[in-house]
Amino acid sequence: MWLTYFQQFLNEDFPRFLAEKTWNYKDDLCVVGAYDLACATGNKSWAQPILDHAASLIQHDGKVVNWQKGEHNLDKVSFGKSLCILYELTGDPHCAAAVQQAFQMLEDYPRTESGNFWHKDIYPNQVWLDGLYMAMPFYARCLADKGENRWNDIIEQFQSAHRLLWNEDLGLYMHANDCSRMAEWADPATGKSPAVWLRAEGWFLMALADTYELARKHTPRAAELIPLLKNALDGILPYQVPQTKMFLQVVDRADLPGNYSETSGSAMVSYALMKGTRLGMLPDVYGKLGSDILDGIRDTYLREDDGRLHLYGICASAGLGPGPDNRTDRDGTPAYYLSEKQMPDNQHGAAACMMAVSEQLLREAS
């Protein structure tokens, strides 16, 4: 059922999203998901949509779309993931040069007072959990490929993010921290945003597992990511919804009307549980929990309508502050996260499920 859905998504939905909007980090997720499926199944046809739509990211002259000179934006650094995959698949030197461009963005990237990359120029001095996933696995991939020893920077940014965003009372991470305390959503004492958004937790969990996979052979400090992953998972698992085996959009607020089991973040938790187990970061029981969550998503939200499969329960988008659209509602409260629309077959959900299903297939084959 999953594989049939992914074929439909990659053949129909992915091209439509690319036609509707310039390349963005959600498309990187789809590339990573399709590539993971190709690796997990041994079937190269899963990678064909990546090749078919490469020109949506990198043109024939090597120009990468949607990059602006001098811009600092971790969501666009994330393009490096797709470019790495394209280089692996094609050997095109333009892709190799573009990977180097993405890596070069991090060389002079602005940082918060804590030493973390700030999220974007429009969000200065802010550390978002999203940004750990956008930047750190790509950063680690480049260090591994180049043989550069800057691993301390990566590990320390994870440790700093933990200090900035962990809520001990809840056992969960808050979405973001404004180190300058200037944002309207920031707690004046701690800088933290006020709510726990599921997909933000998912970004962090995936970043830990993916970065560890790349760092473990290059630095003993990679081991520091293991307790961070286990601690984060031990914190979120008690909030699992028994009926769906998933997690809520606002993780800790089951009391709120309209709160719902959300697909993309639940798939990210599932992925981290199974991948963390496969990499030896977690005991095997965690892998079983991850597989059960993925089955819960399938049973709850993957269903046939109008002659094809659709995936439901996906938060279309969420963030903090005005953003490029000068919104006034993104205040980081639980009510705000619940006000954001759901979108069937959204890239966040479909791609995260591709990644999680890839881990489930590897688990079943082991």
Mean of all residue pLDDT scores within the chain? 97
Q: Which helix (H) or strand (E) holds 127?
A: strand 126-128
What's the rounded Cα separation, in Å, for the pair 362 and 366? 6
For residue 317, the enclosing domain spans: 2-365
State the helix-helix crossing angle for 151-165 and 129-146, rounded to 10 degrees: 170
What is the pTM for the complete model shown? 0.98
Residue owning tokens 């890239």: 347
Residue pair 84/56 in contact by the 8 Å Cβ criterion: no
Q: What is the CATH number of the domain that holds 68?
A: 1.50.10.10
The number of distinct structural domains making up the chain is: 1
Note the pLDDT tens digit of each residue in 146-177.
Answer: 999 999 999 999 999 999 999 999 999 999 99
Q: Is the pLDDT of residue 324 over 90?
A: no
Instruction: Name the phi and psi angles at 62, rounded to 5.
Output: 90, 0
- Concatenate the DSSP letters of all residues of 255-269 into one string: TSTT--B-HHHHHHH
Q: What is the pLDDT of residue 151?
A: 98
